[in-house]
Amino acid sequence: MADCERAEEMQENYQRNGKLQEQLPKVRQQVVGPIEIFRFADGLDITLMMLGLLASLINGACLPVMSLILGEMSDNLISGCLVKTNATNYRNCTQSQEKVNEDMIVLTLCYVGIGVTAWVFGYMQISFWVMTAARQTKRIRKQFFHSILAQDISWFDSCDIGELNTRMTDDINKINDGIGDKIALLFQNMSTFSIGLAIGLVKGWKLTLVTLSTSPLIIASAAMFSRIVISLSSKELSAYSKAGAVAEEVLSSVQTVITFGAQEKEIQRYTQNLKDAKDVGIKKAIASKLSLGAVYFFMNGTYGLAFWYGTSLILRGEPDYTIGTVLAVFFSVIHSSYCIGAAAPNFENFTIARGAAFNIFHIIDKKPAIDNFSTTGYKLGCIEGTVEFKNVSFSYPSRPSIKVLKGLNLKIKSGETVALVGPNGSGKSTAVQLLQRLYDPDDGFITVDGNDIRTLNVQHYREHFGVVSQEPVLFGTTINNNIKYGRDGVTDEDIEKAAKEANAYDFIMEFPRKFNTLVGEKGAQMSGGQKQRIAIARALVRNPKILILDEATSALDTESESLVQAALEKASRGRTTIMVAHRLSTIRSADMIVTIKDGMVVEKGTHAELMAKQGLYYSLAMSQDIKKADEEMETMAYSTEKNTNSIPLRSMNSIKSDFADKSEESIQCKETSLPEVSLLKIFKLNKPEWSSVVLGTLASILNGTVHPVFSIIFAKIVTMFENDDKTTLKHDAEIYSILFVILGVICFVSYFIQGLFYGRAGEILTMRLRHLAFKAMLYQDISWFDDKENSPGALTTILATDIAQIQGATGSRIGVLIQNATNMGLSVIISFIHGWEMTLLILSIAPVLALSGMIETAAMTGFANKDKQELKRAGKIATEAVENIRTIVSLTREKAFEQMYEEMLQTQHRNTLKKAQITGVCYAFSHAFVYFAYAAGFRFGTYLIQSGRMTPEGMFIVFTAIAYGAMATGETLVLAPEYSRAKSGAAHLFALLEKKPSIDSYSQEGKKPDICEGNIEFREVSFFYPCRPDVLILRSLSLCIEKGKTVAFVGSSGCGKSTSVQLLQRFYDPVKGQVLFDGVDAKELNVQWLRSQIAIVSQEPVLFNCSIAENIAYGDNSRVVSLDEIKEVASAANIHSFIESLPEKYNTQVGLKGTQLSGGQKQRLAIARALLRKPKILLLDEATSALDNESEKVVQHTLDKASKGRTCLVVAHRLSTIQNADLIVVLHNGKIKEQGTHQELLRNQDMYFKLVNAQSVQ
């Protein structure tokens, strides 16, 4: 019946997901308004933006004003008779040279004044906008994280966690890029355009209007391409989000991936999403460059038209039209037109930011049905703990047609201990989730002390609960902090008391750092039992009025379970306790046992009453009773030995001395030093795309020649008025105008070629680097993932951020660099040819600019590294919180995680504020120095002309060429921060790529025997985890397992059972001793071959977000598995009939981490996956722990059958599952305590005997 309900619920979910996929692209293409994106600005931000805006407008006016001065200088030279038919007449001028010098000095000082203005306001515009962007982005990050934590659980049920984490990094970074210095430059360009246009109209409205006639074409082309770029950017973001979701899923389940040798398969799945992003990225690059090409084509066409018409006006004798007027109007229009093109990328960044903001703001504005931060609702002064379910019906919001609870009625008195039992999917866990108000009922209501829980303040209400769930979640911090998460204001005494009550104190104190011991990512450094006891301590430290134990002791061995159960029974006194359990031995003493089936109460009563009824509970209890070898054996007093997985340090000295040399290199977890990375090394990353890079480079070189050639044409036009022949002037004007149009065509073609080939090279490189980084991660050994610096959140941040930063110095950026280098190089050469003295003067200022750029680059590199580390840590906190949202909500720790996240952001924020000042100073300095160079150049040029050492044409060529060269230099310096971030990202990437794992899954070395018989031997094996070298797990373990035998490992939590399984899979190597297969040391065998002989079903099964068939086929990734074979193993695992009842059958999607399946269904799929592998060695690590009794019997029979003919190693706490094992090995403190068959060990009446008696239900 439960399976039928799951089938219907899967159908609903499948249809819902299908609709969501159809709607998603439409949502992503939307953008927020240009004002709305600044909605998180406060008063100071508004002040900074207003001042920054004013500074941008003033700074933008500098170029048009310079055009006026240039016109005045030209007229001054001509009216002063300096321009004659040849240079020999200069000394014969009738006008006083002193007067000319005075005028030129005044105009030169005007240039200096413009430079000072540009320096002051240039600093203000950049630093203020960067500062306010940092402040707003910090607020957005905080609010976005707050909003995620505020959402109800039903929202997370239908949310892709991996994509959410990608949004938290990529999308918010795009907002920061779009509203920072890019806005300052956008307003500066708008100011230049507007003021330049106004000057043009005032100085010569006819010429300006003719020039503006092409503006609609420029604007239309820019708008069209901008729309295309926005659309493509949305698609690109979507593809990268999907790739990020895959990476997050895989890295979170990396042990399962490595176990089944699925690295290549997952790399292909990740790469497929990258291919989609690459294809869209190439189209976006082409569209972006075509947009620039079109703008420059129309601009150069405009120049030709302007000079042709301006010359016509002068030749016609139009009043007020001189060469100075034409130049003033011309340069005003040039700068205005240039700023349209220059504004396009900044506007594009702003538009992309608006698109990213839509996704972020959409989540921020989402109002949850149950707000975890709500301040409304009644706060009970004191809760007694009386709970009542009144006719409660419920279906999950994502599947409303599937009723999980159907009119549930149940009353629990204050202080009473009530146990909920029943088959998988009956509604037990759903009931306790409703009680915590993770969801609200559809019908009926739940009361606590007579109050409808929907009327109570949700945070205050949840604070009265202590919850321990079936799969305990620990956070990547210390044991102390994990327990402290129980509630605010916890003292060390409270923590120690809770740890003692949960039977965790002894093993904690054996650790060298005791309560300050790091538990590892997701508690990876702790055994299952240790994790569970820490989780129980965390629940008890809350001193809850209502205690919920959802399979709270499922991961404990019998000895620990007995002690912890006694502690829980003691802790439950004076509080209401609700237990959900499969192990009925843990609930015998409950005041009331409630049996639930199909969402309704079937029977209730005490253990004795229900056993007497011989109903459903009786059948469940009888199936769990272990058969005794001797019914008359007395139950012996239970031993209270310390339960620990550690050995005192003094006992380890002899072992550690044997490998002391090794500890420094391979045992201690050390921070990786980052290699020095040059820009050349980054450029070399594009070597495989050399053909595209070469063609793109040729186009960039061609584009870089445009401005130097323009300088020559411009100088020719200015000085052609030395000739008084109108016919010649008209002819020359037509020729030069046509040359301008040709330059426009060259721009359009070269930009298209750049976009096509550099776009291709850049996107392929980005895809390859992400691919290589992901591949390098997956082929690291497991100890690398144990390091807290390599958490899934941190690694996905590297994939999303570092590679994107490298792209900022490759692809099209190489084109910009080469184009600017060509521009600067040709400009200098041309300038030397036409006026070497003037050129030397101007170039003497270049080292100052270079020094400024170097200072900025060095500063930006340092800040980039710091930002990266802080955002990486913040990303780890955010990812951990989102992945474990149920635990955080149950603990009411939303504010604590929000505070930790904010603290990480605060450090990064301070770095950004410092960066804003340095960026502003360096930009202003380099920007202003151009004007100082103009001032010195014109003054010196006038002197050279007067002394006959230079011609006017030469001076204008040098002036214009150097001007454009300086612009190219400025543009290159503006990119300095991006190159710095690229070097930082590349350093992290190369460090990752150069990291050689100690156990290389890629290696083709090692023996590959033709046959694996399945003989296993542990020979004097000692082991400790690399990041915890002071805690010995296995201590000289020696054991021989013959082929085809079934051997069971039992013992206390942390005794080394699961560690032994990991050594067999060669996740780690022993620090002493050997693990042998068929007499061969595992280190001598090929890693891939060895793992292909082994299959495992672990305690917490991991499924992937794909179809059921794909999850089962995951068992063998070396071949294409047929559907018939998949069905065969599904039938063997007792899951086939359920799958066939689903609407999509084997094509049904299981959801992220298998959320669309119950625990038992996930476990059976995992068993089918293992059976498909046809292993010689089968590892069962609590393989039936999540199954109800009925399913367990069927699956256990299947496993017993499957183990025939192969070596089977079973790790179990439920001793009923291992009675028939050929050998049972009892481990204690990493050594073998006793071994034998079930009957032999019972006769010994030692440790195993005690464990068996403790598990008897009756």
DSSP letters spanning 704-765: HTHHHHHHHHHHHHHHGGG---HHHHHHHHHHHHHHHHHHHHHHHHHHHHHHHHHHHHHHHH
Computed over every residue of the chain, the mean pLDDT equals 81
- What are phi and psi for residue 1052, nearest 5 degrees? -65, 155
pLDDT band at 631 (very low <50, low <70, confident <90, very high): very low
Query: Which of 2-6, 441-445, 708-712, 940-944 bottoms out in mean pLDDT, i.e. has the lowest?
Result: 2-6
pLDDT at 867: 67
How many other CB atoms are found less than 10 A from the CB of residue 819?
A: 26
Among 744-758, 1149-1163, 1171-1185, 1201-1215, the range with the most confident prediction by mean pLDDT is: 744-758
DSSP summary character for residue 884: T
Mean pLDDT of 89-111: 68
How many other CB atoms are found less than 10 A from the CB of residue 297?
A: 23
Mean pLDDT of 602-621: 85
Sheet with 1072-1077, strands from edge to edge, namely 1034-1041, 1016-1023, 1072-1077, 1080-1081
> Rounded to an integer, what distance in angstroms lies between the CA atom of residue 578 and that of residue 1110?
38
pLDDT at 645: 37
Residue type, 164: L
pLDDT at 852: 65
pLDDT at 862: 57
In this model, does residue 35 exceed pLDDT 80?
yes
Mean pLDDT of 1133-1157: 82
Structural domains in the chain plus CATH codes:
1-30+1101-1174 (3.40.50.300), 31-369+674-993 (1.20.1560.10)
DSSP summary character for residue 378: B
pLDDT band at 854 (very low <50, low <70, confident <90, very high): low
- Asked whether the beta carbons of 791 and 879 are under 8 A apart, the reply is yes
- Asked whether the beta carbons of 1200 and 1169 are under 8 A apart, the reply is no
- Structure confidence by residue, pLDDT tens digits, 1047-1058: 999 887 778 888
For 530, 554, 1023, the CA distances from 1211, given in Å and listed in that order, are: 16, 13, 18
Of residues 137 and 79, more confidence is placed in 137
- Asked whether the beta carbons of 218 and 262 are under 8 A apart, the reply is no
Mean pLDDT of 1173-1198: 74
Q: At what angle do helices 812-843 and 263-316 cross, to 10 degrees?
A: 40
pLDDT > 90 fraction of the chain, expressed in percent and rounded: 17
pLDDT band at 18 (very low <50, low <70, confident <90, very high): very low
CA 879 to chain centroid, in Å, comes to 8
Mean pLDDT of 1154-1167: 79
Q: Which of these, 283, 186, 292, lies nearest to 703 by C-alpha position?
A: 292
pLDDT at 592: 92
Q: At what angle do helices 726-778 and 976-993 cross, to 10 degrees?
A: 30
CA 1008 to chain centroid, in Å, comes to 38
- Structure confidence by residue, pLDDT tens digits, 988-1029: 888 888 888 888 887 888 888 888 888 999 999 999 888 778
pLDDT band at 13 (very low <50, low <70, confident <90, very high): very low
- Structural tokens at position 631: 């019914």
pLDDT at 1101: 80
For 103, 582, 852, 932, the CA distances from 841, given in Å and listed in that order, are: 21, 88, 19, 11
In this model, does residue 130 exceed pLDDT 70?
yes
Mean pLDDT of 295-321: 85
Which residue do the tokens 């891939």 mark?
A: 1088
- Structure confidence by residue, pLDDT tens digits, 641-655: 333 333 333 333 333
pLDDT at 557: 63
Mean pLDDT of 175-201: 89
How many other CB atoms are found less than 10 A from the CB of residue 854?
A: 13
In this model, does residue 21 exceed pLDDT 50?
no
pLDDT band at 1258 (very low <50, low <70, confident <90, very high): very low
- Return the CA Rg of the chain: 37
Query: Which of 110-124, 254-268, 1185-1199 bottoms out in mean pLDDT, i.e. has the lowest?
Result: 1185-1199
pLDDT at 1190: 66
pLDDT band at 1074 (very low <50, low <70, confident <90, very high): very high
In this model, does residue 626 exceed pLDDT 50?
no
Mean pLDDT of 284-299: 87
Which residue do the tokens 């065509």 mark?
A: 745
In this model, does residue 664 exceed pLDDT 50?
no
- Structure confidence by residue, pLDDT tens digits, 57-70: 999 999 899 888 88
Burial class (CB in 10 A: 0-12, 13-18, 19+), 1078: middle
In this model, does residue 633 exceed pLDDT 50?
no
Three-state DSSP at 293 gives helix
Give 211's contacts (C-beta < 8 A, 6+ positions apart).
200, 302, 305, 306, 309, 329, 333
Mean pLDDT of 913-940: 82
pLDDT at 865: 62
pTM tops 0.85, yes or no:
no
Of residues 1254 and 447, more confidence is placed in 447
In this model, does residue 859 exceed pLDDT 80?
no
Mean pLDDT of 289-317: 86
Strands (E), 1042-1077: 1046-1051, 1072-1077
- Structural tokens at position 188: 């500066």
Three-state DSSP at 606 gives coil
Mean pLDDT of 943-957: 83
Query: Which of 336-345, 573-582, 1039-1048, 1097-1106 bottoms out in mean pLDDT, i.e. has the lowest?
Result: 336-345
Query: What's the CA angle centered on 1191, arms 1187 and 1197, to 5 degrees?
Result: 110
- Structural tokens at position 62: 């500098």
Burial 250-284 (b: 16+ CB within 10 A, else e): bbbbbbbbbbbbbbebbbebbbebbebbbbbbbbb
Give 591's contacts (C-beta < 8 A, 6+ positions apart).
416, 417, 418, 606
pLDDT at 305: 87
pLDDT at 238: 82
Q: Which of these, 1232, 1258, 1234, lies nearest to 1248 by C-alpha position?
A: 1234
pLDDT at 23: 33
CA atoms within 13 A on the CB side of 44: 7
pLDDT at 81: 46
- Structural tokens at position 706: 């445009």
Three-state DSSP at 1094 gives strand
Three-state DSSP at 406 gives strand
